[in-house]
A and B are shown apart, each in its own frame.
Chain A
Amino acid sequence: MTVGRARGSTYDPDAVAALEDELQVQLRSLDDLEAELEAGDLEPDDYETLRDQYTVRVADTMRRLNQQQGLAVARPRRRLNPLTIVAVLVFAAGAGWLLARSSGERGVNDILTGNISSTRQRVFDCQELAADQQIVESLQCFDAVLLEDPDNVEALAYRGWYVVLTTSSAEAVGEEEQAAELLDVGLTYLDRAVEVDPAYADARAFRAAVFDRNGDSAAACDEVAALLALDPPPFFVEQTAGIAARNGCG
């Protein structure tokens, strides 16, 4: 095997590997020469000539190998930039913080990461919580959905409606001012739901109920009219018939 001289002053690991292979072959050939001399297969004169030739080649190979290895050592090692270290640490810390923020207890049927349960399913779960009278948990659940999907019309409408429903509790204990504030908050969510999707019947129905409760007949009638214009399922028509009657809607 012969290997050409290393190119220029560039360190070439392939050339180093090839030179090492070549050196092994040459050293083995020297050993073979010894063996052949001892076995009488080679004349002493020929042995000396061949040994000298191989020795020169070994020396040349070693010199080129040393040259290559010298090139490898010549280049100073670079130190890591402190800014790089800081950036990596900041990124890792940020990832860790987000990880902590997004982690929760894993239930029996939950999977390790992510989920294939839809936003719709989560809204449904939030509604189930409200149905179980866990209103605070339900509102937190809706907030989590809205954090991820701020324009989710169902979450907006039902979060608003459940806030409206809590006003009864506040009124029952004489907290009229707090009840009014809660009503405003609920109505804000309902307004947002209608703004996102004016054709969402649930939000229209809830708004009609709030206006009815506030004694705003004109607004209630407008809302009922907007709802009926959507040709909603019969359930909504039945539910809002009382509002229409109470407010004298035409």
Chain B
Amino acid sequence: MNALIGLGFVTLGLAASVLGAAGGVFALVTDRLYLLKTIRSWAMLVLVAAVGAFTVMEIALFQRDYSLAYVSKVGSDETPPLFNFAALWSSLEGSILLWALVLAGYLAAMVIKFRSRRDDRLLGWALVVMLVVCAFFFALMVGPANPFLTVEVPPGFNGPGPNVLLQNHILMAFHPPMLYLGYVGFTVPFAFAIAALITGRVGEGWLLETRRWTVAAWGFLTAGIVLGAWWSYEVLGWGGYWAWDPVENASLLPWLTGTAYLHSVMVQERRGMLRVWNLSLLCATFSLTILGTFLTRSGVVESVHAFSDGPIGAWLLGFFGLAAATSIGLIGWRGDRLRSPGAIDAPLSREASFLANNLLFGALAFVVLLGTVFPLVAEAWDGTRLTIGRPYFDSLGRPIGLAMLFLMATAPVLPWRKASTEVLSVRLFWPAMAAVASMALALVLGGRGVYPIVTFGLGGFAAGAAIRQVVLATRRQGWRGFLGRTNGGMIVHIGVVLLAVGLAASESYKSDRTVQLAVGESATIEGHEFTYLEAGADMNDRRLRVFALIEIDGADVYAPATTSFRQNGARPVPTPSVRSGFTEDVYLVLDEVPDPADDSIRLRVIIRPMVAWMWAGGALMAVGTVLALFPGRRRRGTEPVSAPVAVGAPAAGPPSGRNGSNGDDPAATGPTDRGAADSPSGDAAVPAGKDPVANG
């Protein structure tokens, strides 16, 4: 019964998507715009279908309905409720189902958000694109990734449950949905970009429509990536958090292009420049999410994340090709209309720094993409099986990352169009002091090595610039100084600095040792004393966990373990135990299962400083994203302060009429609205050289 209902919902979703898209195209091509209102009904039907299919699958998992092939593959009688719920996205078919659910949710949200603009051609085409993408994912579920296929199982059958690594930590319940919210969220700006190209409305209007959608998608993707790194650290037992695994790279690629877009889009909003570049970035971001899906689900890579094989790879690769070719074709077609009216006036300007920022993000994306797909291309070409080691990624990623930190410090203080050295010296004074103080503190505390010390210095520089902006904004606007794209963005920058500093410290100053300890024996590593107290075991129907109690510094007791799951043929997987702290993490993992006949263990001790800074940085990036989603302060035209802003920054803004406010409110138009709230350095409200922070 579950199979029948589920398949019914999936088929309904496919039909609604196809009919909605076809109806939309018909309405738009024949100019019967009044028919566009029917898209709303189709979109809601798609949502009903996705929610229905998802619910049926969850019911089947909780009912242990092993007549469904998918449940027999990822379900088991013993899986705890949380992991049983998360089992839905633990394998190919369910993950496509989750993707479709999130996509349908975004589609419905679009329809509701823009419900008053039913006759708008731009919106009509955007909804058509969304429905085409929906149709593709529902088609996958009707075809090569059908989650509701049935199977005959013997009486008393008990499934294996999800992959053991996916039921070892609560983060698994949150990391994939976050990632999907990010991946899928980029479909919305992509749909508007394609719609803008089709309608020819390639000015700045569509950017303003999609600004918050893009920021939200980026925030989800960021959270998903950071949670994934945390999961890798807490679960896999290798003591690291980022391995340049191809599937990690696949999630990083759209993040890089998406981040580049978030910066360069400001140049287009302000100066009408970089139109082709911004459209290309958005189309690339969407295409890379499909490429990432291909890498994860086609079976071309072996990875802790990858699952499945079968024909779905060809479908995904085909869709990737279609998305890329359509984007390139449309951009080429609209080439003349996309030519920018302006040019960068001076290398020392906000727009020039954003351009440099984009070049760095683009370069890093190129590096990651090349490293990830080159072995695939080589193997497809002549069968050569290559692996690309992490030194390639590290050695190119580090200098690019340092350059990005430098730009994070300088870009927010640069005015639009051009900057004088006087202005820069005033605005960069405190950030530079922060940089020097950071490096000095690191050296005093025993830090060594060029790379980490430079990272700390540039981190202090960037953090100083971000804090300066937040201080200026909160002085002027009170608590609202934390809100808006620019101020929220500065909070994100501080999060990035924490992450970068944590990354540099934990990689550069880590200690990794393995000791053999007998019961009652102690070992001293990096100033910490580790005493092996005893071994123990606990067992249930699902798994056997053998642990060793380790006392650290005569105080806290930790229990690294190995866990053998019934489904896994009792092959043990390491279950690390981590003492996390502000300054360092002590990571304990058993190198082998404790042998009852031998009273000793092989204990691996990894000490990494400042790992917690990375997770704190990730959390701060999420907080900053949320703050950026709220509208910043908007001035009324009657407020006295508006007049100097308009007069003081006439060259900074595009011609009046473009909505330059930091919200989506169409009422907030005109030059007075693009004043302090959107000005990262507050340069619109604070005359050049009159920096309140610098001047005390």
* Residues of A bordering B, CB below 8 Å: 7-8, 10-18, 20-21, 24, 28, 71-73, 75, 77-78, 91-92, 94-96, 98-99, 101-107, 109-121, 147-148, 152-154, 197, 199-200, 230-231, 233-235
Contact = CB atoms under 8 A, between A and B. Distances in A.
Interface string B353-395: 0000000000100110011101110000000011111111111
A13 B200 contact: yes
Contact of A111 (B31, B245, B395): B245
Contact of A116 (B202, B238, B522): B238
A113 B390 CA distance: 7
B525 A199 contact: yes
B339 A113 contact: no
Given A13-B337, A233-B521, A114 B245 contact: yes
Given A18-B201, A199-B525, 7 more contacts: A71-B341, A72-B337, A95-B367, A95-B396, A113-B375, A114-B249, A148-B390
28 contacts: A12-B655, A13-B201, A13-B337, A17-B199, A18-B201, A21-B121, A72-B337, A75-B339, A95-B396, A102-B388, A103-B386, A103-B387, A105-B387, A106-B386, A110-B387, A112-B302, A113-B371, A113-B387, A114-B244, A114-B248, A116-B245, A118-B238, A148-B390, A153-B511, A197-B511, A231-B524, A233-B515, A233-B516
Given A103-B389, A113-B375, A118-B239, A200 B513 contact: yes
B392 A199 contact: no
B278 interface: no
B652 to A, nearest CB: 15
Given A11-B341, A17-B200, A233-B517, A116 B121 contact: no
B301 interface: yes
Contacts of B337: 13, 16-17, 72
A96 B371 CA distance: 9
B203 interface: yes
A120 B514 contact: yes
Given A72-B336, A75-B341, A105-B385, A111 B396 contact: no
Contacts of B200: 13, 16-17, 20
Contacts of B205: 14
Scoring A12, A14, A20, A113 by chain B CB atoms within 10 A of each residue's CB, the highest score goes to: A113
B240 interface: yes
B243 interface: yes
Contacts of A197: 511, 526
A91 B388 contact: no
Contacts of B275: 13
Given A17-B199, A153-B513, A99 B388 contact: yes
Nearest to B342: A10
B510 to A, nearest CB: 8
B604 interface: yes
B304 interface: yes
A235 B602 CA distance: 14
Interface in B385-432: 385-396
Contacts of A10: 272, 341, 654-655
A116 B232 contact: yes
A95 B366 contact: yes
A136 to B, nearest CB: 20
A233 B522 CA distance: 8
Contacts of B309: none
B394 to A, nearest CB: 8
Interface string B221-237: 00000000000100010
